[in-house]
Structure 1
Amino acid sequence: MSERYFYNADGEMLFVPQLGELLIKTECGNLTIKAGEIAVIPRGLKFQVILLTKNTRGYICENYGHNFVLPERGPVGANGYANDRDFQYPVAAFEDKQGKFELVTKFNGNMFRCDISHSPLDVVAWTGNSAPYKYNLSRFNVMNTVSFDHPDPSIFTVLTSPSSTEGVANIDFVIFPPRWMVADNTFRPPYYHRNVMSEFMGLIKGVYDAKEHGFVPGGMSLHNCMSPHGPEADVFEKASNAELQPQRYDNTLAFMFESRYIISPTKYALEGKERQPNYTDCWRTIKKHFTEDLT
C-alpha cells in the first residue's frame, strides 16, 4: 500500500495478526501491531498498512453494527477481563506528501477508487472518541471456574458489539489465552453443544485444547448457528480419563468471532485446496457409553 490508502464506509475493522508485524498509518497517528496484539480502525477513517516483516498474515473482522465496546463485567466487578487502561491510542502524526496516490473506498459492499494528488493522512491533530486503538492480548485478566463445570466462553470476551436483542451480540471477540484449569469432578474442555451464535475460530499460536490435531496456527474453523460441535474424539477420551489436578494451558492463544448472524463462506473458502474435506472425521470414533436401554 505504499501509494494507496483505504477507508471503510460500511463498518469498523478489527485486525488480528497471526504472524509478523505491521504498521497502520491513520489520520489520527500510527499504530504498530504484531502477533498477540489487535487493532481496531473506526468506520470511515482513512489508513494505510505497511508490512514490517516479510511473512505477515492474520485475520480481519468487519463489524457493521454497534462499535466494539468492553463487555459488561456483571458480578466480576471492576477487576477482570480487558481493562480500559490497557488500550493504547496513537500520538498525532501527519504526512505532507504530494504526488500520485490512490484512495480505495468500501461503500455499500462495493469497492471504489479515485486518484488523489496528496496523502490523506495530512491531519495534524485530532479530538473526540472515534479513534483507532490497539490492545495487547496478554493484558487480558482471565476469569475461570474455581469449583466445577466448564464456564460459558463469554468469560473470555475482549470486545463486544451489542445488538438490540438481549443475550446475543452482533459480534463478540473472544480469546482463549494461557490460563489455569482447576475444575473438580467435571469435564474440562468445552462440552458438546449447539447455539444460536455462529462461531468462527482462529489460532494465533500453539494448540487449542478442544482440537489438538488439524487446527494449526493461521487456520480457521466455522460452526454456524445450530451446528453441533465440541472436542474431537481423542480429546474427549483424554479429558475423560485424566487425573483432575490443576492444569496450566501455556502454549496456546486461540480466538473466536462469535455472531448472531449466519456467516457465509466465499466460493474460494469452500473450494480452496487448504480446506479439510474430512474435518468431521475427528468425531467419528466417539464411543457409545450407554450400558442399558432405559426406555
Structure 2
Amino acid sequence: MTTHTVPTRMQKAPSLAGPHEGYMPGFGNDYETEALPGALPQSANSPQKCNYGLYGEQLSGTAFTAPGHQNERTWCYRIRPSVKHSRHYQKIELPHWQSAPNVDLGVTSLGQYRWDPLPHAKDNLTWITGMRTMTTAGDVNTQIGMASHIYLLTSSMVDEYFFSADSELLVVPQEGILRFSTELGIIDLEPKEIAIIPRGLIYRVEILEGPARGFVCENYGQKFELPSRGPIGANCMANPRDFKAPVAAYEDREVPSTVTVKWCGQFHKTQIGQSPLDVVAWHGNYAPVKYDLRTYCPVGAILFDHPDPSIFTVLTASSSQPGTANIDFVLFRERWVVAEDTFRPPWYHKNIMSELMGNIYGQYDAKPQGFVPGGLSLHNMMLPHGPDRDAFENASNANLGPDKLNNTMSFMFETRFPQHLTKFAAAEAPLQDNYVDCWSGIEKKFDGTPGKK
C-alpha cells in the first residue's frame, strides 16, 4: 500500500465535540451545519437575500409529495447555483461501467459463479474509469433494480467531479482508503466501513492509501433504509447513532474543471470554470453517510435451528412488493454460534432472491476454500447452493459447544431480480471455472436404514 498526499482544499465547519470529529451522528436525521458563522438562514429556507451573498438551492431526493416519513430534501447555501455547473454536455464512453438492462445473448447467467479478486491495475484509473460492472438487474430507465461493480483505483480525481442521476451508490471498500469530497462535506472511508452516496450529489474521489479495491452496489430504486426490526425491537442490528454524516465543507476555487454525469445509463461530461463543491451551509435529511461495519450488532439463535439470513440485514431498499426487497445489504461478521443439535452453517437452499456475495476479509464459514478476500460469488434466483462437502462434513460432526467465528466479514447484495452477467464478468474477470465442482464430492448417505443419521 502507498500513502497518497491529498491537499485539503475544503473549508470545514467547526468540529463537533465527541469521538467522531467532522461528522454528525444519525440515520435519516434532519441535520444542520455551516462552515461560516451565520451562513445558515434561521426560520426560513429561502430568504430574500442569503448571508455572504450565497444562493439558496434545494436538492430533492424524493418527489415533493412523498409521504412525510419518506420525504427527503436538503437546502444548500452555495457560492453559485448548480446551474453554473451544467453547461453543454458531451457524451463519453465508459465501456466497463454498464447499466441494466444489459442482457447479452452470448453470455449466460444461469449457473453458480465465483470469481477470484480482480488484480490491481497498472494503468491510471480513477473512480470513473476504474469501475468494473459485474452484474446488472432490472431497468435503470424505470428506476428498478441494481448493478454490482468492483472498483480499481490507482489515481485521485483532480479538478474532476462526478454525480449519478440514475442511482445512489453503496460503497464497500476492501483495500485502500478513499476520500469522498462532496457538496455536503468530506467522508474518509476505509475497509470495514461503508458509505452511501445519494443520487444527484456531486463529489470527487481521492486516494489516501492505495491502490484501492472494493465493491459498489448501484441502487436504481427506492433509497436504502434501516430494516424494520419487528419482534427484535428497538435495538441491535445497525443502530442509527452509528451512521455519520459530514459537516459542511466548501471550496472557493476558480479553476477549469470537468463534471461527469451518469444519466439513464449513459455518461456525459461538461467543462466548467470552478469547483462545484461550494456549499457553505446546509440543512436537511438528504445527505451522504458512512457506517462502521464493526458496530453492527448481530442477533441469532440461542437454542436451536438456523434463522434466515435476513436477520443480518444492515440496509434494505424496498420494492413495490411488500417484504420483497429491491436490494438487501446483508453482513456476515464475527459472532458467537451456540445453537444445539443444529447444522450451524447456512443450509442448502434455493429461493426467489438473487445473491451476490463479496468477501471483505477472512474466511466464510460455508465456503472455507476458494472464497477469498476481494472475491465475489453469484447464486441467481432459484438456483441451488449451500456448503461445500468439507463444510458440510465438519459442521455435521462438530462438537457443538459455544464457538466464536473470528476473522470473518463477508456481505451480500440480494435482489428480487435476476442478476445478469456482463461480458467483463463472463470473459475478462478471473472466473473460477471449477467452482461448481465444490459440490461434486457430496455423497449419498441414504440406504433405507431406519434411525440412521
TM tier relative to shorter chain: over 0.9
Q: Does 1:194 align with 2:353?
A: no
Matched, 1:180 2:352: no
2:383 aligns with 227
| Alignment map for 1:26-45 (pairs within 5 Å) | 26-45=182-201
Matched, 1:81 2:237: yes
Q: Which residue of 1 aligns with 2:288?
A: 132
Q: How many residues align?
A: 294
Q: Which amino acid aligns with 1:103?
A: V
Deviations 1:50-92 (A, max 9, x none): 0111221100110011110000000110111101011000010
Amino acid at match of 1:288: K
Higher relative contact order (CA 8 A, sep 6+): 2
2:207 counterpart residue number = 51
Aligned-pair CA distance for 1:167: 2.2
Distance 1:205 1:2 in 2: 30
For 2:331, the aligned partner's letter is: I
* Letter paired with 2:368: E
Larger-Rg structure = 2
Pick aligned residue for 2:321 from 165, 168, 171 = 165
Provide the rounded CA distance (Å) in 2 between the counterparts of 1:122 and 1:91: 13
Q: Residue in 1 aligned with 2:74?
A: none
Aligned to 2:300: 144
CA RMSD of aligned residues (A): 1.1
- Once residues 340 and 319 of structure 2 are traced to their aligned partners in structure 1, the CA distance between those partners, rounded to angstroms, is 35
Residues 149-195 of structure 1, C-alpha deviations (whole Å, 9 max, x = no match): 11111111110001121221000000001000111101000000001
Consecutive unaligned residues in structure 2, runs of 5 or more = 1-156
Question: After superposition, what is the alpha-carbon deviation per residue over 1:88-134, rounded to whole angstroms, capped at 9, x for unaligned?
Answer: 00010001111111100000011111111111101111111110000
Letter in structure 2 aligned against 1:292 = G
Show the counterpart of 1:7.
163
Q: Taking every aligned residue pair, what percent have the same amino acid on both sides?
A: 54
- 1:173-218 CA distances to partner (integer Å, 9 max, x unpaired)? 0000100011110100000000111000000000000001111100
Name the CA distance, whole Å, in 2 between partners of 1:179 and 1:148. Answer: 16
Residues 217-257 of structure 1: CA distance to partner in whole angstroms, max 9, x if unpaired?
00100011001000111100111110111110011000000
Distance 1:108 1:254 in 2: 31
Moved over 6 A (4+): none
Deviation at 1:293, TM superposition (A): 9.1
Per the alignment, in what secondary structure is the counterpart of residue 270 of structure 1? helix
CA distance in 2, matches of 1:273, 1:68: 28
Q: How does 1:17-28 map to 2 (within 5 A)?
A: 17-28=173-184
Quick check: 1:61 aligned with 2:217? Answer: yes
Alignment partner of 1:254 is 2:410: yes
- Quick check: 1:103 aligned with 2:259? yes
Q: Indicate whether 1:208 and 2:359 are aligned.
A: no
Counterpart AA for 1:244: L
The whole-number CA distance in structure 2 between the counterparts of 1:62 and 1:145 is 32
